[in-house]
Structure 1
């Protein structure tokens, strides 16, 4: 399993609308993508305009090719992109260790 980590900074006073857009975008677009295994959305305590979205994919290619190179990516960005204060930083991770 691959972890996609997306770090977002959003426009001021848009928290509720952004959180709703993320949930809607996951449900209507990303969850229908091949290899999607789940997600978590976290809001920063010290800076409420910063969010970290974790999306779990079966393979790296499920995200980088299957999703990012499909029309679904444009649909996703149309839903969440208007809230961005700056482009998100997106990176991918392999699991190295975990608790029991």
Structure 2
């Protein structure tokens, strides 16, 4: 299992519209992707234009090859891309351990 972590910064004053857009994009577009396992999105308290998006993928290639190189990626970016103040910083992680 691979965790995609995206640090997203949006344009000021767009939080309400982005809140709706990102959830719509996740539920209608990304949820259809090969290897998609789930998502979580948090928004900043001290930095209200900052969002942390976490998506679980079966494999790294499910995100980097199949999703980014497939027809769903342009649909996703059409929904969320207009809000970006800068390109998101995206990294991938493997689970080392877990507790409660």
Give TM-score, length-normalised by structure 1: 0.97
Unpaired segments of 5 or more residues in structure 2? none
State the alpha-carbon separation in 2 of the partners of residues 17 and 35 from structure 1. Answer: 28
Equivalent position of 1:92 in the other structure = 92
Give the TM-score of the pair, scaled to structure 2: 0.97
Runs of 4 or more consecutive aligned structure 1 residues displaced over 2 Å after TM superposition = none
Written as runs of structure 1 = structure 2, the 5 A alignment for 1:1-100 is 1-100=1-100
How far the C-alpha of 1:44 sits from its partner, in A, is 1.2
Give the distance between the partners of 1:61 and 1:19, measured in 2 at CA: 28
Q: How many residues align?
A: 100
| Structure 1, unaligned runs of 5 or more | none
Separation of aligned partners in 2, 1:25 and 1:63: 15
